Amino acid sequence: MTNKNIGIKDVAVAAGVSVTTVSHVLNEVSYARISPETRDKVKSAAEQLGYGPNRLAQALRTQRTGMLGLVSEDIATTPHAGRIILGADEAAKARGYGLMIINTSGSASLESRRADVDALLERRVDGILYATMYHRNVELPANLGSVPSVLVDSVAKGGNITAVIPDEDGGARAAVGALLEAGHTRVGFINNTDDVPATRERLQAFRAMLTEAGLDGDAAPVESEVSEVHGGYEAARRILAREDRPTGLFCYNDRMAMGAYRAAAELGLSIPGDLSVVGFDDQELIAANLHPGLTTVALPHYEMGAWATEHLIDAVEGKTDLTLMALHPTILGCPLVRRDSIAAPRP
């Protein structure tokens, strides 16, 4: 707990250093030549005395408020993507920053989103995170560049802002690889109909993995529908009605996989005995509660939120240059989460 009666001079006396040294350590002044031992001594003294820096004084001196803004396109109301907010919030707190969130709609006009950014700028945030509910290319309001900014789960049209996105290709390869490792040679893909990066990249990875395994990736069955439960059901009904019915099924997301479970049950197919299924997203309310539990690929929502916040704060504090990082988006891995929906195909 902070003790308001303790000042920086008290910390200096307790640590046996100058007031300037204490100020440089606690304000993380990058150019200060202070040994790690001295830094530890100052921080330990400050913690033991309950000293907390005067935020108002810091703001006047550094022209920083210690607040970050987060423009959230729908994710505040989405349980799995909401982990972006959790990752950002915990990373901000660890660095002594607060997070101010504005929820907007992905379908909102550019003018409306500009107003949302203005609302954060009026509150003098030091930097802005702009997060979308799913990986896509996004047109951004020009005022976003007024302060350091990082995109989460999206890439700017024009690619001029630092961004962090999931590894769609690697995640899809992990999903298809799990089916191939189990011995499946007839593998189908239930894909999304939306024109977004995940739709294209997961399909390309699906075909590439089959081809690299010596199978005909271009001839493998693919059915596309809206990426919801009923879309997965309809696509699965079609793909499982084929004479050369797949024994393994890769689904664009867990909601579509849920629909595929229903289709398989109606056709009298057991999972994983007759049909192995793998999803994408690791939406725990779905994947962990299907029977059997769904093997799926986890999107790194928490990790993207934390990564973006760490690098945004580094930019605010002058420790990194976001313009150099904007040349190429940072890609974070999508690990496979194994449950019980994959088994070897029947002889």
pLDDT in tens, 85-115: 999 999 998 888 999 999 887 667 888 888 9
Give the DSSP per-residue string, 1-51: ---TT--HHHHHHHHTS-HHHHHHHHTT-TT----HHHHHHHHHHHHHHT-
Q: Select from 3.30.56.10, 3.40.50.2300, 1.10.1240.10, 3.40.50.300 the CATH code of 67-166+301-331.
A: 3.40.50.2300
pLDDT band at 52 (very low <50, low <70, confident <90, very high): low
Let me know if the fold of 8-53 is the same as that of 67-166+301-331. no
pLDDT (0 to 100) of residue 50: 76
Q: Which tens digit of pLDDT belongs to each residue from 309-329?
A: 999 999 998 888 898 888 899
Picking from 56-70, 168-182, 281-295, which range would have the lowest pLDDT averaged per residue? 56-70
Per-residue pLDDT averaged across 271-294, rounded?
Answer: 95
Q: Yes or no: say if 254 and 283 are a contact pair by the CB < 8 Å rule.
A: yes
Q: Yes or no: say if 131 and 303 are a contact pair by the CB < 8 Å rule.
A: no
CATH fold of 8-53 reads 434 Repressor (Amino-terminal Domain) (1.10.260)
**Could you tell me the pTM of the whole model?**
0.80
Q: Which tens digit of pLDDT belongs to each residue from 148-196?
A: 999 999 999 877 899 999 999 999 999 999 999 999 999 999 999 999 9
Judged against a pLDDT cut of 50, whether residue 56 lies above it is answered with no
Measured in degrees and rounded to the nearest 5, phi and psi for residue 334 equal -120, 95
Q: Yes or no: say if 213 and 180 are a contact pair by the CB < 8 Å rule.
A: yes
pLDDT band at 6 (very low <50, low <70, confident <90, very high): confident
Judged against a pLDDT cut of 50, whether residue 339 lies above it is answered with yes
Determine the longest span between alpha carbons in the chain, in angstroms.
82
Domain residue limits, the chain: 8-53, 67-166+301-331, 168-299
Return the axis-axis angle of helices 8-15 and 19-26, rounded to nearest 10°.
100
Cα-to-chain-centroid distance, residue 34: 36
As a whole number of Å, the CA-based R_g of the chain is 25
Judged against a pLDDT cut of 70, whether residue 5 lies above it is answered with no
Q: Which tens digit of pLDDT belongs to each residue from 185-234?
A: 999 999 999 999 999 999 999 999 999 999 999 999 999 999 999 999 99
Per-residue pLDDT averaged across 28-45, rounded?
Answer: 81
Pick the most confident of 31-35, 48-52, 181-185: 181-185
Q: Select from 3.40.50.720, 3.40.50.300, 3.40.50.2300, 1.10.10.10 the CATH code of 168-299.
A: 3.40.50.2300
Measured in degrees and rounded to the nearest 5, phi and psi for residue 264 equal -60, -40
Exposed e or buried b for every residue in 138-171, given b needs 16+ CB within 10 A?
A: bebbebbeebbbbbbbbbbeeeebbbbbbbbbbb
